[in-house]
Amino acid sequence: MGDIDPLDTSERFTHLRTDGTAQMVDVSEKAKTIRESTAIATVRTTRRVLALLTSDELPKGDALGVARVAGIMAAKKTSELVPLCHPLPLSKVTIDFELLPKAINLLATVKTRGVTGVEMEALTAVTVAALSVYDMIKAVDKHAILSDIKVLAKSGGKSGSWTL
């Protein structure tokens, strides 16, 4: 471990103070850059449900439309849901869908010009959008599965860009 004091968590965990209590990281000195992140979630369901979904015949209505709005709203509320996230001025949130034979992939992309990244906002957006799809289809598939929630890409900031 070199010169790092194993009891001094401030060197290892940015969200902990030296006494081990939680803190919101100070980002006041960081430069504003354009930051973007994309996250994915999968809702596994049946061919029958996907047919109902694409023919607008779900008992609860337009699942994808509701999920899109829910995801956008969730991205804007991330700092209220995840305790140590900074509130960010989001400049763009998109929710897209990829229909597969027995699943729906949901993709959330979030963008800002700020001092911290938007990975948490993208993850929150895609997760709430997937929950909304589940809520809309559960009357016809109580066994649908939400899975594979992860960040696919991020750009901006000092750590640069990466894709999964």
pLDDT, tens digit, 9 for 90 and up, residues 111-129: 999 999 999 999 999 999 9
**135 labelled catalytic:** yes
Is the model's pTM score more than 0.85? yes
* Digit-coded pLDDT (tens) for 12-45: 677 777 777 777 787 877 888 999 999 999 999 9
User: Looking at residues 45-60, what average pLDDT do you find?
Assistant: 94
The two tokens of residue 86 are: 């900074």
Longest dimension (CA), the chain: 63
* Structural contact between residues 67 and 129, judged by C-beta atoms closer than 8 angstroms: yes
Strands 90-100 and 33-44: unpaired
User: Looking at residues 42-66, what average pLDDT do you find?
Assistant: 95
Token pair 């899109």 is found at 68
Query: Confidence band (pLDDT; 50, 70, 90) for 157?
Result: confident
* Cα–Cα distance, 33 to 18 (Å, whole number): 29
H or E element that contains 97: strand 90-100
**Residue 151 β-bridge partners:** 39
The two tokens of residue 12 are: 């290892």
The alpha carbon torsion through 19, 25, 27, 32 (nearest 10 deg) reads 160
Query: Confidence band (pLDDT; 50, 70, 90) for 107?
Result: very high
Domains in the chain, start-ordered, CATH in brackets? 30-163 (3.30.70.640)
Whether pLDDT at 64 is above 50: yes
Whole-number pLDDT of residue 82: 94
Which residue of the set 8, 56, 135, 148 is catalytic?
A: 135
User: Looking at residues 53-64, what average pLDDT do you find?
Assistant: 92
Whole-number pLDDT of residue 1: 41
